[in-house]
Structure 1
Amino acid sequence: MMTSSHSRFYWVNFGIPLACAVVVFLLFDLTRIDIAFNDLFYDPVAKVFPLDHVHLFEKITHKWARIIPNWTGEIAIVGALLSFLWPRLKAEKHSKIIAFLEKIKVAPVIRFASRHRRDFLYVVFAFSISTGVIHYLKGHTSVYCPIETTQYGGKVEHKEWYQNFDLLSVAGDGRCWPGGHASGGFTLLALYFVARRYRWRHSKAVMYGSLALGFVYGTTRVLQGWHYMSHTFWAGIFVWLACLLTALAFYGRARLELPVLQKHEEPALAAQPQPVN
């Protein structure tokens, strides 16, 4: 029988997002709330979403915003690659190389990467799996963006994701559900699970920050007519589940469910042996 702490872990981490999925489906997918919200930002006379034509808004919220998740993913890839380098440097064989790396202050970076190999690999896999899930759903639901539908001057009839869903085959050319840009912000949730592994007391701040970033990314695309608000919610749900399942595979439930350390306990963490990577 599972203990109460085990049950709470699964309820919080799986139950809440699944409950949110039910709410989003009933509240948005089965109603016209999405359309009503997008109507607020649509000019029916000019038949445009005005913010879609503001180049500075597009550059800041869509192009520049990608820097944060892109750089995070790239740092994780570099860290994962470097983590395999230090163990292969032997003092008796590579003393000159090690001395040079120490001199240019690169050795501490490589040692850090080696100690945290599992974390760097986790972030790489979590980002990849989250992106893969979103791309799979986009291709197998073929939902068109609001601006592409007849509702807003486009040529394609609006349909919900479940009307086109095909498990094994590509459903069509639409690629709007769930929100891809929003999912880029939500992928930073991977950092939250790394923080939970080490019981960092600010881990919830990482979680809330990642969720906020994803919602900001998604909402700005809604304002431009390239998504419905529900697309952002669905992106957050799927990315959370992808990061959670990947974290369970890398770290295990026992590590992730440990309580975060209090402020006065933090110094003790440094004195504890690091988990084996």
Structure 2
Amino acid sequence: MQLSSKLNTPTTRNEIKNSTIYCLSGRFYAINFILLAFLALVFLWWSRNESLDIAISQMWFDSATMTFPLQHNRWLDLINHRLLKDVIIAGAVLLLLRGLYQRNGRRILVGLLFGMGPLVIGILKAHSAHSCPWDLAMFGGKAATFALLDAAPVNSGPGQCFPGGHASSGFAVMALFFLWWPERPGRALLALCAGIALGLLMGYGQVMRGAHFFSHNLWAGWWVWLSQMLIFAGVSYWVNKTRKTKRDGST
């Protein structure tokens, strides 16, 4: 009774509301895994078909000069490739530092989630044999293109271009969903949509430069959300299990 009374005071309730790492429902994860499985099939078809990727990239390719005219565009490089990425990184660092200062576990976790998605993408890119469009023979380079899951040809080029690394910085903003859910679901869903839009926007800027195929960015968003969701699920389960064990032990 004493513990129950303590947990139900207004002061304690606000403290829990602001800082506790909560557990999402099994229904939430089931819906998301079904959606990710469906999207994986769509993206796999898109990547293996290749014609859609090539058609989109050809819109920004000059066949007369065999180059992507916007490859070295100052504004695409400065604003899309550098400034937006730097702003997102700075925001994530500030969120993490604020969480550490306030000893707010949820803010700390979300700040770390910002970096986890791009980290996973970086690892996948490092082991990828797929080269960027500007390196491919059809776009003025020397490398051969091949469909996702096919064996890499001998002349596959420098590789390390799948999934889209730059787009992952924009998709990382989806981590804010976990900061505001469940107290502010509207804001959480808005943050999720903003992260998706930002990732697609930043990724398409790279498509215009010839740095990526569009499907590279779709897969980047897929991997970022999957990694953020799995890490949040694991950490929240462990934290709440530990908290429950301590509470049961103190009663």
Decide: shared fold, TM above 0.5.
yes
What's the CA shift string for 1:20-78, capped at 9, x where partnerless? 11101113323421111111110000111111132123211111111232112211332
What's the CA shift string for 1:162-191, capped at 9, x where partnerless? 2358xxxxx984111100010000011111
How far apart are the structure 2 equivalents of 1:12 and 1:244? 12
The percent of aligned pairs where both chains have the same amino acid is 29
Contact preservation (8 Å) 2:46, 2:52:
yes
Which aligned pairs between 1:33-72 and structure 2 lie closer than 5 A? 33-72=52-91
What residue in structure 2 maps to residue 26 of structure 1? 45
> Which moves more between the two structures, 44-53 or 198-207?
198-207
Query: Are residue 211 (structure 1) and residue 209 (structure 2) matched?
Result: no
> Cα distance, 1:237 vs. partner?
0.3
> Which moves more between the two structures, 6-15 or 59-68?
6-15
Matched residue of 1:141: which SS?
coil
What residue in structure 2 maps to residue 237 of structure 1? 222
Matched residue of 2:46: which SS?
helix
After TM superposition, the score normalised by the length of structure 2 is: 0.77
Residues 6 and 73 of structure 1: CA distance in aligned 2, closer, same or farther (over 3 Å):
closer
Contact preservation (8 Å) 1:143, 1:164:
no
Contact preservation (8 Å) 2:163, 2:220:
yes
Contact preservation (8 Å) 1:141, 1:164:
no
After TM superposition, the score normalised by the length of structure 1 is: 0.70
Residues 206 and 124 of structure 1: CA distance in aligned 2, closer, same or farther (over 3 Å):
closer
Query: Which runs of 5 or more residues in structure 2 are unaligned?
Result: 1-23, 241-251
Query: Which runs of 5 or more residues in structure 1 are unaligned?
Result: 83-112, 166-170, 256-277
Letter in structure 1 aligned against 2:190: A
CA RMSD between the two structures:
2.4
How far apart are the structure 2 equivalents of 1:68 and 1:24? 29
Matched residue of 1:202: which SS?
helix
What residue in structure 2 maps to residue 76 of structure 1? 95
Question: Which residue of the other structure, out of 119, 127, 130, is the alignment partner of 1:132?
Answer: 119
What's the CA shift string for 1:201-225, capped at 9, x where partnerless? 3211111111100000001100111
